[in-house]
Amino acid sequence: MTSTVNIPLLAESVKADDRVVTGVITDEKGVTLPGVSVLLKGADPTGRQRGTVTDSKGLFQVSVPEKGAILVISFVGYLSQEIAVGTRTNLTVQLAPDTKALDEVIVVGYGTQRRIETTGAIASVKAADLLQTPVANVAQGLQARVAGVQITQNSGAPGGNVSVRIRGTNSINGSSEPLYVIDGIQISNSGGITDVSPLSQINPNDIESIEVLKDASSTAIYGARGANGVVLITTKRGKEGGTRVSYEGYGGVQQVNKTLNVLNAQQFGQLENEVYKRSIYADPTSLGEGTNWQNLIFRKAPIQSHQLSVSGGNAKTQLALSLNYFNQDGIIKNSNFSRYSFRSNIDHRINDRIRIGTSLYYGYSINSGVSVGGTGSDVTSSRAGVLGAALAAPPTLVPYRPDGSVFPFQDQMNGQYQEVSNPLNYITPINRQTTQRILANVYVDFSLFKGLTYRPSFNADLGTTLAEFYSPLSLLSQSQLASGGGNATNTSSYGRTLLHESIFTYRTRLAEHHTLTVTAVLATQANVNQSYDQTASNFPNDVTENNSIGLAVNQRIKSEKSKSRLDSYLGRINYGYKDKYFLDLTARADGSSKFGENNKYGFFPAVAGAWRIVEEPFMKSVPIVSDLKLRGSWGITGNAGAIDPYQSLATVSASGLNYNYNHNPVTGINPSAIPNPDLKWERSTQVDIGLDVSLFHNRLSVVADYYNKRTDNLLFQKVLPMSSGYTALTGNFGSIQNKGVELAVNGRIIPGSGRGLQWDASANITVNKNEVLSLDGILDELPRSAYALLKVGYPMGLYRTYVFDGISQTGETILSGYDGRVGGQKVKDLNGDGTITAADQMIVGNAQPKYIFGFSSSLRYRGFDLNLFVQGVQGNKLMNLFRYTFETALGQQNVLAGLVNRWSATNPSNEYASGFQGGRLPLSDRYIEDASFVRLKNVSLGYTLPKIKGISQLRVYVSANNALTLTKYSGYDPEVNNFGNATTQFIDNGTYPIARSYLGGLQLTF
């Protein structure tokens, strides 16, 4: 008897006049196919659909009506067929391969290629995956979705910046951020923690696809800007057909994931009495809980986004328009990011030879920020931001005066607390950044003759920013008011990047089996950046805030301007034979005004090849393999972003040491940099070997890569002796290596069809080893701070500290050179000389993860969809300076709740030191924490309603973002860094934490 498997969700509804049809389904080679969907076209009166799937032998059995039965046969990787049953009772169906997967076109530098033709390491991200998690920043949507790409959310502030590393960190003093190309317009992101990311000014809903270029063969076409990888972003364009109108919107609420427990007022009063050895608080037990300062700065914050899009066109003209409004309040009060954006993409065919088009984007954003912790290693640095101030604030004080204004701590308790500030001081001032940005691209496609096209394109990136700050007099204490008050800063900046590219492309087929594509590009880019800065203090009142700088007693004006230019000449040859063998050759020459007179130009070649083994005759007998391709590449790229303009020249600057000539003040100007005519490019040489495998009729695909990337001629500031009159020389010193393995797996676990059960899943993992190969040619290690250093033979982000050894107990020998007291922290005397010195410090970890990974799952059934996305980072360490600060019971500040168990004569704790006025704990490995984490980044449940007349699609959904984080890290969040995009120092010193959010959304298309 025929064996069948019936899917419950496709349950059969058998009637008396039905009959049974059996059959077998094979592929194009006659091999039977298991798991093929066999559906009866149309639904029964109950709305259910009959169907089954083939068994392990490719056989099926299904009940059909006596007349008019049509079976729909579908399987992943094959073309669907509709079979009219007629009077037949047994069917033999042969499916033809769907070559659409083979013919899939992806965007590459200065062109497109079929997926099977690619020889480099290129990863694609679909728009639907990008938007699964509501984000303000495009890069946030890529997090954990691409193997080899590490994306760190340096700050959870609205519009906050991210740090992106493609195959590791490549520079010490320069940027390791990739190049972003949006519809041909090239932009960069600083990654700085206090910077508003330019990527947050781009609307993620406008994006059609993203390609990440990772190896040298795919990035060499961008030459001097390709060393850190390239992210190609293509926005949605109009298509021929009817007008399509769509609305996408969501709204929800955000909240802080966790708060840190500190001493309450009673416990704090007891500690203060111990530290100062007098009764500051006569009866601490009467103080109760006191003020919870974290509750006063955190809030539940709304988030919303609304987008209206119109697209369509005819055979000659296609149009895509979109309007977007995004607004995100921060979980810390007075922080907010809002964006208004408009995009217009137009393409028009004038005739058979000429096509023109334009992409225009306008974005207007307002970012209201709050101060976060500093980057110093002393306890005062942590208190320089709103989170540190909230933890440090004595719970015995109150936030507001009777009139509702902020109550300065200096005016409470007779000025007992002069060294800490009311945390409301950090969320009350105006701290606003308003940005306008225009990205414009105009192109013309000329078809000169068969196979040859010429595309001149003109790109502009124009931006203006007004940064405003005003701290009112109302925040000042009485003593501060006596010396004047009120501080204001207005900074206006303007940036302009103009880029022209002339692109020639020739495509031809030779002798039937040979394909050839030749691309040649001439490009020139000019950059101008200007800023004007007004700083003032001592205002008579707060009426005009920062809008009338001239009212202030003290005023200062500063302006800056810089220019740079990049000229480029590049070419690429793509050759293919029988869709089996592929060879790519790329070369680019770049000339930059930034570099020394003797090294203005750099040359960046690359070569890559691929062998589609699946096309070999011996693979025909291996039906489980749908595709198999071996890739290899070698190339050199540069990093022009590692240096600012004029660093190769002798420069002068205003030193601030002014002089009086004839009783007139004159600004002093002094030499500030030594010229270096030999200053040249950072150069990254990379080898990549990759394997692409598709199995089981493309239901399972695997992409694996091994890479080895070495960056030489690092742009580095070499410290000079004081006798030279200069502090440092910018030159080419040092080398870094990154090598690793990437693995990405995609599977259609249950292929399904129609409204039946479908289950797709994907996962990726990256292992990267970073190593400093050389530094300045003299030293093999360079300290970066009291706890961080660079050392040859080790990865960047290295920590070196003392080793925590508990608490000094009564009767123990106290060694000199550290917190040497009974009840104080002790550290190990590693060299055994009886004294604690820097020689007793050791390397205790580094900030580089051992591996990163991502996993996503998507289930669909009868209109419902359930999506899950998990991100993980493992094996990295993080210096928790926040914990260091708030385990230091030095007086004047609150501390973590664990210090209830601090050492005392009656409580000989071996974990927490006793209080000590003005004391400092030794920086030890106690504060180098494991920052590994696994985060449930997103889980969403949606429902797409059945077809409604006049509506193409209507989907509603709910989602939770950052819903769960598994980590041993003790701070607010393990995914932070006060140094932002720094390459050598990684700390948590009170960074804005990442929020958890709950959203509901609607997607509607007409």
Q: Say yes or no to pLDDT of 338 above 80.
A: yes
Q: Using 50, 70 and 90 to split pLDDT, how confident is the model at 204?
A: confident
DSSP H or E stretch at residue 217 = helix 216-219
DSSP state of 28: T
Q: Say yes or no to pLDDT of 938 above 70.
A: yes
Between 679 and 934, where is the model more confident?
A: 934
Q: Using 50, 70 and 90 to split pLDDT, how confident is the model at 753?
A: low
| Two structure tokens written together for 944 | 């797409």
> Residues 19-25: what's their mean pLDDT?
91
Strand, helix or coil for residue 381: helix
Residue 459 β-bridge partners: 441, 499
| Two structure tokens written together for 808 | 């000094």
The Cα 556–Cα 544 span in angstroms is: 18
pLDDT at position 474 is 85
> Residues 52-68: what's their mean pLDDT?
87
- Return phi, psi of residue 805, to 5°: -135, 30
pLDDT at position 519 is 96
Q: Say yes or no to pLDDT of 16 above 60.
A: no
The Cα 184–Cα 199 span in angstroms is: 15
- Return phi, psi of residue 330, to 5°: -85, 160
Other beta carbons less than 10 A from residue 831's beta carbon: 11
The Cα 902–Cα 908 span in angstroms is: 8
> Residues 190-214: what's their mean pLDDT?
76
Other beta carbons less than 10 A from residue 680's beta carbon: 22
Residue 783 β-bridge partners: 789
Q: Say yes or no to pLDDT of 131 above 50.
A: yes
Residues 236 and 207 sit within 8 Å (Cβ to Cβ)? yes
Q: Which of 840, 733, 831 is nearest to 790 (CA)?
A: 733
Strand, helix or coil for residue 161: coil
pLDDT at position 613 is 96
Looking at 97-111, 279-293, 984-998, which range is the least confident one?
A: 97-111
Residue 691 β-bridge partners: 630, 704
Other beta carbons less than 10 A from residue 564's beta carbon: 18
Q: Say yes or no to pLDDT of 8 above 50.
A: no
Mind listing the pLDDT tens digit for each residue in 700-747? 999 999 999 999 998 877 778 877 777 778 888 889 999 999 999 999
pLDDT at position 43 is 59
pLDDT at position 80 is 85
Strand, helix or coil for residue 901: helix
How are beta strands 987-988 and 877-880 bridged, if at all? parallel
The Cα 832–Cα 327 span in angstroms is: 59
| Two structure tokens written together for 795 | 């990865």
Assign residue 129 a region: left if phi > 0, alpha if psi is -120 to 50, beta otherwise?
alpha
In CATH terms, is domain 101-242 a member of 3.40.50.1370?
no
Q: Which of 66, 68, 69 is nearest to 50 (CA)?
A: 69
pLDDT at position 48 is 63
Q: Which of 308, 320, 312 is nearest to 244 (CA)?
A: 312
pLDDT at position 309 is 95
> Residues 580-600: what's their mean pLDDT?
92
| Two structure tokens written together for 242 | 């009817």
Residues 766 and 148 sit within 8 Å (Cβ to Cβ)? yes
Q: Using 50, 70 and 90 to split pLDDT, how confident is the model at 586?
A: very high
Region(s) of the chain under CATH 2.60.130.10: 8-98
> Residues 109-122: what's their mean pLDDT?
91
Q: Using 50, 70 and 90 to split pLDDT, how confident is the model at 9?
A: very low
The Cα 824–Cα 710 span in angstroms is: 46
CATH class as words, domain 8-98: mainly beta
pLDDT at position 4 is 38
The Cα 140–Cα 131 span in angstroms is: 10
Other beta carbons less than 10 A from residue 666's beta carbon: 10
Q: Kindly report the average pLDDT of the chain as a whole number.
A: 89
Region(s) of the chain under CATH 2.170.130.10: 101-242
State the pTM of this model. Answer: 0.88
| Amino acid letter, residue 222 | Y
> Residues 302-322: what's their mean pLDDT?
94
Tracing tokens 């083979």 back to the chain, one arrives at: 102
How are beta strands 51-53 and 37-40 bridged, if at all? antiparallel
How are beta strands 19-26 and 514-537 bridged, if at all? unpaired
The Cα 25–Cα 493 span in angstroms is: 67
CA distance between the termini of the chain: 49
Mind listing the pLDDT tens digit for each residue in 754-772? 677 889 999 999 999 999 9
Q: Say yes or no to pLDDT of 657 above 60.
A: yes
The Cα 277–Cα 915 span in angstroms is: 10
Percent of the chain with pLDDT over 70: 94
Residues 181 and 197 sit within 8 Å (Cβ to Cβ)? no
CA distances 774 to 120, 496, 710, 763, Å, are 29, 37, 11, 35
Q: Which residues contact 1 (CB under 8 A, 6 or more apart)?
A: none
Q: Which of 113, 188, 207, 221 is nearest to 501 (CA)?
A: 221
Looking at 172-181, 250-259, 489-498, 628-637, which range is the least confident one?
A: 172-181
> Residues 671-682: what's their mean pLDDT?
85
Mind listing the pLDDT tens digit for each residue in 833-853? 999 999 999 999 999 999 999
Other beta carbons less than 10 A from residue 810's beta carbon: 9
Other beta carbons less than 10 A from residue 960's beta carbon: 17
- Return phi, psi of residue 726, to 5°: -125, 160
Looking at 63-67, 195-199, 427-431, 606-610, which range is the least confident one?
A: 195-199
pLDDT at position 192 is 60
Tracing tokens 């070698």 back to the chain, one arrives at: 634
DSSP H or E stretch at residue 297 = helix 293-297
Mind listing the pLDDT tens digit for each residue in 868-921? 999 999 999 999 999 999 999 999 999 999 999 999 999 999 999 999 988 889
Q: Say yes or no to pLDDT of 60 above 50.
A: yes
DSSP H or E stretch at residue 965 = strand 953-967
DSSP H or E stretch at residue 825 = strand 825-827
Other beta carbons less than 10 A from residue 414's beta carbon: 7
Cα-Cα-Cα-Cα torsion 398, 402, 404, 407, nearest 10 degrees, comes to -40
Mind listing the pLDDT tens digit for each residue in 877-889? 999 999 999 999 9
Percent of the chain with pLDDT over 90: 58
DSSP H or E stretch at residue 270 = helix 265-276
Looking at 319-333, 645-659, 992-1006, which range is the least confident one?
A: 645-659
Q: Say yes or no to pLDDT of 12 above 50.
A: no
Looking at 131-135, 353-357, 793-797, 934-938, which range is the least confident one?
A: 131-135
